[in-house]
Amino acid sequence: MNKVILVGRLAQDPEVRYTQSGKAVASFNLAVNRFGGQNNADFIPIVAWEKLAESAGNNIGKGSKVLVDGRLQIRSYEANDGSKRRVAEVVAQSIEYLDRKQQASENGGDLTVDSFGKDVFPDEEIPF
């Protein structure tokens, strides 16, 4: 069990890059207000992959309010001076767009993007 749920606003536009194998990766910091908190936020690094990444790149930007559901991961990397560093980041499993800043979409509904197939089974099928 490794679950993180955050509501906040993007501190900057998502940066979308591509791995050597061609997978899209988006990253941005999420400003999550602390309780009591006008000018008191945690800026939490978020990473999203593939269609989640592409959707973020196309649909949200600096200031957008989102709900991120994901897992907390510690990633190792080599710093410029050759030293080994560790950074914590949240790998998004789904992102729910809580407002629609720019394009006031005519259908109104909220958009949720998810990194896996769905497991929704109709009520009627249950054999009891």
Partner DNA sequence: TTTT
DSSP state of 11: S
Q: Which of 53, 51, 49 is nearest to 73 (CA)?
A: 49
Q: Is 44 in the site for a copy of itself (CB under 8 A)?
A: yes
Q: Is 82 in the site for DNA (CB under 7 A)?
A: no
Instruction: Choose the contact partner of 39 out of a copy of itself, DNA, none; CB within 5 to 8 A by kind.
Output: DNA
Q: From residue 66 to residue 85, what is the string marking binding to a copy of itself with x (rule CB under 8 A)?
A: -x-x--xxxxxx--------
Residue 28 exposed, middle or buried by CB count within 10 Å (0-12, 13-18, 19+): buried
**Shortest distance (Å) from residue 69 CB to DNA:** 18
Q: Which of 11, 33, 100, 101 is the binder for a copy of itself (CB under 8 A)?
A: 33
Q: Which of 8, 20, 77, 78 is nearest to 45 (CA)?
A: 8
Q: Is 84 in the site for DNA (CB under 7 A)?
A: yes
